[in-house]
Amino acid sequence: MTTARQEVGKSRRGGRSARREKRAQSAQPTALPYIQRNVGVYTLLDDEGLSLIEHNADTILQEVGMEFRDDPEVLDIFRDAGADVQGERVRFERGMCRRIIQTTAPRQFRQHARNPERTVMIGGNNTLFCPSFGPPFVHDIERGRRYATLEDFENLTKLHHMLPAVHHSGGVVCEPVDVPVAERHLAMTSAHLRLNDKPFMGAVTAPERSLDTVNLAKIVFGDTFVEENCCIYSVVNTNAPLVLDATMLGALKTYARHNQAVVVSPFILAGAMSPVTVAGTLAQLFAEATAGLSLIQLIRPGAPCVFGTFSSPISLQTGAPTFGTPEGMQIQYCAAALARRLGVPFHSVGALTASKVPDAQAAYESAMQLSAAFHAGVNFIIHATGCLEGLLTTGYEKVIMDADRCAALQRFAEGVDLSEENQALDAIRDVGPGNHYLGCDHTQRNFETAFFRSTVSDNKTYEQWSADGSLWEHERANATWKSMLYTYQRPPLEQGIDDGISDYTAKRLEQIRSNGDSS
Amino acid sequence: MTTARQEVGKSRRGGRSARREKRAQSAQPTALPYIQRNVGVYTLLDDEGLSLIEHNADTILQEVGMEFRDDPEVLDIFRDAGADVQGERVRFERGMCRRIIQTTAPRQFRQHARNPERTVMIGGNNTLFCPSFGPPFVHDIERGRRYATLEDFENLTKLHHMLPAVHHSGGVVCEPVDVPVAERHLAMTSAHLRLNDKPFMGAVTAPERSLDTVNLAKIVFGDTFVEENCCIYSVVNTNAPLVLDATMLGALKTYARHNQAVVVSPFILAGAMSPVTVAGTLAQLFAEATAGLSLIQLIRPGAPCVFGTFSSPISLQTGAPTFGTPEGMQIQYCAAALARRLGVPFHSVGALTASKVPDAQAAYESAMQLSAAFHAGVNFIIHATGCLEGLLTTGYEKVIMDADRCAALQRFAEGVDLSEENQALDAIRDVGPGNHYLGCDHTQRNFETAFFRSTVSDNKTYEQWSADGSLWEHERANATWKSMLYTYQRPPLEQGIDDGISDYTAKRLEQIRSNGDSS
């Protein structure tokens, strides 16, 4: 068949190289700092159903309560607020946690990026995509699976800087296991601040590491600015069922006191850490999240906070977690609706998979969960890129392939344009029955930006595809990430700030090493 | 970690083999004849937006009209109904086509299967999955891509008989190119009726072939039963823009006169066969579909009919069709809503991809479109399994992998169970903070059927997966379809009916061959 390009060439000669240039630009999705949704959300439970979940969460908090371990200060805070504290177990009157949150927590807030053009709005009708968090391994199709290093961390941070539909630099995009544990947060934070100008996540593994993150942010953004604005976004997981431990509480308190955003995200493998049902899991996770979020608001009323979930069913045959499942999607849809009723932003998982390789399983599971996260209206979609092996691994090719799907969803979020130009009635009148639209004026005017263009899908004929080497998508993605790293350019950073990061890091490394705490 | 099975074993000894047997049964998704949705639909345009599309479709039908080619009888039918007929161009008063449809077309109808337990309800709150239609090639990972044969057709029909979340036997599941064109419909219809007891689709390539399908159905269901009930479901494509040709009109008339279901499905590669915009494409396809559907109702008021769409954007760089795209999803969501307003069932595409192989691209694109079809509330999801290369190929492994996702969506459609047992408050009280649910009574009672189980995803540890051969999903799917074909059992069919099919086919083959029409 005649191609669109040939047709356009036929009917409007001249200005060809200008058009080619414009086309080259528009081949990349627009690098918006975040997605302002122009489309609605999908809901599963009606208000009656959601009220029942809230009611059950209240019952759990009232009758069973939640344990806050090894942190007497937190117990005092809750006691002072009127909760029933016995040992480390804290019980709450019905509705108490939600009331505390709803009194002072912001419905949405801005997280500043060091490049102001990358600053994101979290909550409301906005959505953003963020890389995976936590994998100790990386994978690519040539070297296979191996322990991650700082070089991998930096590579992934560079790729995410360049990917236009990834809006956040993330946190532990992989564990740089060649760096001692006590020093890792410094290496990772420096990499985020230097190699990527999008917003980033803070360390949560010890209160002093959280404080280091705050101090490094102050070097970049300024002391006062950090105390008055959100520049760091961090995730605190509960130890389901119904426990928050001292490590997580330490991070929560540090960030909340400095007015930095904290997500309270129950980490639940349903069937092991919660009941084997969607309704039971929802009540438990809502109880855990609201207890944690109320603590933030008691510590610093008005501090930005986010309701998060990471909830996947386990296989009841093997005990292994499963991903992209109907139940995982159901939990996410319902939790998003609970967050909207609560009135705080919602954070949840994207392209998760249990597959070890960038195969069809990885893509099916990831697409199902990512698509559900998007349609649920999740504000902050973590693990939107790279996940393999249930987050034990991040894959180089997987990052590229997932980011392509993020770009597709970003385009979907623009909604349907009903302008007169897009209604195209004149075009339909002009072309008439039995003809084609390839060369008509309306197509000429609109074809450059008309449809989404994938960067890694192959839409060619079988013959062209064979002539190009019969590549599978992961093979094309392999070429893509290599070429991106080759052309990567570090975003500009003031020399004074760069030096400040170096000086702070050097000073802290000396302290850490002299304390002998490097394990 | 201790597995669920070990835990369950620990806490409730005895009856182990009975449980294992029950488990083996529940490992397969329930083979329901179709999905009665217990979940809502996702909508993109509000009533105002949908009214605008209807208004524009009316404008197209009034001002531009539609061509019905080489069929004077159809022109007479429209003229008698009050349309403006000039040559082959038919123009309609505003709202006329919708009014004709809404006066007599059923909102939903039953398509009978030869096994009454497989009879499906099409329309309303119901959804079903159907195999791909039309590919001249088949693919498997060992033999690669090759022209399809009758053996492939029969293999695919056997697999779809066995797959529990595929509810229909389909039509041209592949083109058996080793059978002469004029004889193919007989070979295909016989295979559907003998090898699969689910409902099936009829031939549309010539009126006499449609009539053969009706006659074969009568051998199975009985003369009167066929005239009074829908036993055949067939798809008629418009030749967009705004044309219906004599071949398609011939099939439409034959089936409508025999009270058999006809889908009118504009086949549109947007940008080539419709404007390069979603809004323009929607208006055009709605105009085409309602013109075709009104013809059905004029021919036989009350005959079952279905609004269908197949609409994918072309790549405006290469002219090639693209699949699983944001625009393809948007068109589907909006068209489903238009169908609900019109009041007829809606038929649209599922797991489409442009990929040539069962790779990540195939899975991402397929999952996005299949998931959109499901959430849009499409009643009849065609191309739910097998598609590769934009329907030029159907893949054996792809069938297995797609069907696994259909099963996941079937599970999702059950919705969230809010029964007291599923709320699981007693379990949460029993387990308490910091413990696990693996051995508790509630888990014992519910774990057999608690979560969806994929048949081809691998959720094992990396080490177990490696020990099992480090297989990618398409390799596991390869083993699955081979083992299914090995264990396939033909569904029982009365000897008299089987003989009747043979006799009719033999008689018709003799006629066809004596006419020399075998090309």
Q: Report how far residue A90's alpha carbon sits from residue A60's, in angstroms, rounded to the nearest whole number.
A: 11
B409 touching A, CB under 8 A? yes
Q: Above 70 in pLDDT, residue B129? A: yes
Inspect the interface and report whether the beta carbons of A42 and B438 lie closer than 8 Å: no
> Which of B4, B277, B436 is opposite residue A424, by nearest beta carbon?
B277
Residue B50 in any domain: the answer is: no
What percentage of chain A exceeds 70 in pLDDT? 94
Asked if residue A435 and residue A374 are part of one domain, the reply reads no
Q: Report how far residue A264's alpha carbon sits from residue A237's, in angstroms, rounded to the nearest whole number.
A: 6
Residue B362 in any domain: the answer is: yes
Asked if residue A372 and residue A260 are part of one domain, the reply reads yes
The string of DSSP letters for B116-148 reads GGG-EEEETTEEEEEE----SEEEETTTEEEE-
Residue B151 in any domain: the answer is: yes
Tell which of B322, B437, B470 to mutate to test the A interface (max A CBs under 10 Å).
B437
Residue B100 in any domain: the answer is: no
- Which three-class secondary structure state does DSSP give residue A117? helix
Helices A326-342 & A47-59 angle (0-180, nearest 10) = 80
Asked if residue A153 and residue A22 are part of one domain, the reply reads no
Asked if residue B434 and residue B349 are part of one domain, the reply reads no
Inspect the interface and report whether the beta carbons of A459 and B315 lie closer than 8 Å: yes
Q: From residue B56, how far is each of A205, A408, A444, A510, B246 by CA, in Å? A: 59, 28, 22, 72, 26
pLDDT number for residue A30: 55
Q: Is the peptide bond before B241 cis (omega within 30 degrees of 0)?
A: yes
Show the CA angle centred on residue A181, arms to residues A175 and A187, nearest 5°: 65
Q: Above 70 in pLDDT, residue A17? A: no
Helix (H) or strand (E) holding A266: strand A261-270
CB atoms within 10 A of CB B465: 18
**CB < 8 Å to A418, chain B:** 45, 49, 52, 279
pLDDT tens digits, residue range B358-382?
999 999 999 999 999 999 999 999 9
B422 touching A, CB under 8 A? yes
pLDDT number for residue B185: 97
CB A360 within 8 A of CB B456: no
Q: Above 80 in pLDDT, residue B454? A: yes
Tell me the shortest Cα–Cα distance from A105 to chain B, in angstroms: 26
pLDDT tens digits, residue range B258-280?
999 999 999 999 999 999 999 99
Q: From residue B269, how far is each of A29, B45, B498 by CA, in Å? A: 22, 22, 41
Asked if residue A294 and residue A156 are part of one domain, the reply reads yes
pLDDT tens digits, residue range B65-115?
999 999 999 999 999 999 999 999 999 999 999 999 999 999 999 999 999
Binned at pLDDT 50, 70 and 90, residue A14 comes out as very low
CB B244 within 8 A of CB A433: no
Binned at pLDDT 50, 70 and 90, residue A517 comes out as low
CB atoms within 10 A of CB A86: 9
pLDDT tens digits, residue range B223-243?
999 999 999 999 999 999 999
Binned at pLDDT 50, 70 and 90, residue B317 comes out as confident
pLDDT number for residue B7: 40
- A239: domain CATH number is 3.20.20.480
Tell me which residue of B103, B104, B47, B97 sits closest to B68, measured CA to CA. Answer: B97
**CB < 8 Å to A443, chain B:** 271, 275-276
Tell me which residue of A373, A283, A384 sits closest to A328, measured CA to CA. Answer: A373
pLDDT number for residue B318: 82
Across residues B331-347, what is the average pLDDT? 98
Would you say the C-alpha torsion A493, A498, A500, A504 has a positive or negative sign? Answer: positive
Overall size of chain B counted in residues: 519
CA B401 and chain centroid, separation:
15
Q: From residue B133, how far is each of B234, B479, B485 by CA, in Å? A: 11, 24, 21
Residue of chain B with shortest Cα separation from A437 = B272
**CB < 8 Å to B450, chain A:** 271, 276-277, 313, 316
Tell which of A426, A428, A447 to mutate to test the B interface (max B CBs under 10 Å).
A428
B144 touching A, CB under 8 A? no
pLDDT number for residue B515: 86
A123 touching B, CB under 8 A? no
A437 touching B, CB under 8 A? yes
Residue B53 in any domain: the answer is: no
Asked if residue B166 and residue B248 are part of one domain, the reply reads yes
Q: Which two tokens stand for residue B437?
A: 């649910």
Tell me which residue of B211, B141, B170, B113 sits closest to B380, measured CA to CA. Answer: B170
**CB < 8 Å to A321, chain B:** 459
A65 touching B, CB under 8 A? yes
Asked if residue A290 and residue A148 are part of one domain, the reply reads yes
Domain count, chain A: 3
Phi, psi of B308 (to 5 degrees): -125, 155
B461 touching A, CB under 8 A? yes
Q: Report how far residue A335's alpha carbon sits from residue B472's, in angstroms, rounded to the nearest whole number.
A: 33
Residue A513 in any domain: the answer is: no
Residue A15 in any domain: the answer is: yes
**CB < 8 Å to A40, chain B:** 42-44
**CB < 8 Å to B55, chain A:** none
Asked if residue A458 and residue A356 are part of one domain, the reply reads no
pLDDT number for residue B31: 78
Window 343-402 of B: residues touching A by CB (8 A cutoff) are 354-368, 371-372, 375, 389-390, 392-393, 401
B415 touching A, CB under 8 A? yes
CB A336 within 8 A of CB B471: no
pLDDT number for residue B319: 85
Inspect the interface and report whether the beta carbons of A4 and B271 lie closer than 8 Å: yes
Inspect the interface and report whether the beta carbons of B326 and A408 lie closer than 8 Å: yes
- Mean pLDDT value across chain B: 93
Count how many pairs of residues, chain A against chain B, have C-beta atoms within 8 Å: 436
What is the pTM (predicted TM-score) of this model? Answer: 0.94
Residues in contact with A489: Cβ distance below 8 Å, sequence separation at least 6, in sequence order: none
Residue B301 in any domain: the answer is: yes
pLDDT number for residue A16: 43
Asked if residue B408 and residue B371 are part of one domain, the reply reads yes
Asked if residue A430 and residue A326 are part of one domain, the reply reads no
pLDDT number for residue A275: 96
The string of DSSP letters for A151-219 reads HHHHHHHHHHHH-TT-----S-SS--TTS-HHHHHHHHHHHHHHH--S-EE---SSHHHHHHHHHHHHH
**CB < 8 Å to B435, chain A:** 241
Supply the DSSP symbol for A378.
Answer: -
Residues in contact with B202: Cβ distance below 8 Å, sequence separation at least 6, in sequence order: B171, B189, B210, B213, B214, B217, B232, B233, B234, B251, B255, B260
**CB < 8 Å to A390, chain B:** 459
Asked if residue A461 and residue A346 are part of one domain, the reply reads no
Tell which of A35, A145, A457, A471 to mutate to test the B interface (max B CBs under 10 Å).
A457
pLDDT tens digits, residue range B347-364?
999 999 999 999 999 999
CA B93 and chain centroid, separation:
33
Across residues B205-212, what is the average pLDDT? 94
Across residues B491-516, what is the average pLDDT? 96
Inspect the interface and report whether the beta carbons of A66 and B433 lie closer than 8 Å: yes
Asked if residue B395 and residue B460 are part of one domain, the reply reads no
A409 touching B, CB under 8 A? yes
A18 touching B, CB under 8 A? no
What percentage of chain A exceeds 90 in pLDDT? 91
Binned at pLDDT 50, 70 and 90, residue B19 comes out as very low
A155 touching B, CB under 8 A? no
pLDDT tens digits, residue range A234-282?
999 999 999 999 999 999 999 999 999 999 999 999 999 999 999 999 9
CA dihedral angle for residue B108, residue B77, residue B64, residue B96, rounded to 10 degrees? -50
Supply the DSSP symbol for B167.
Answer: -
Domain of B9, in residue numbers: 4-30+452-487
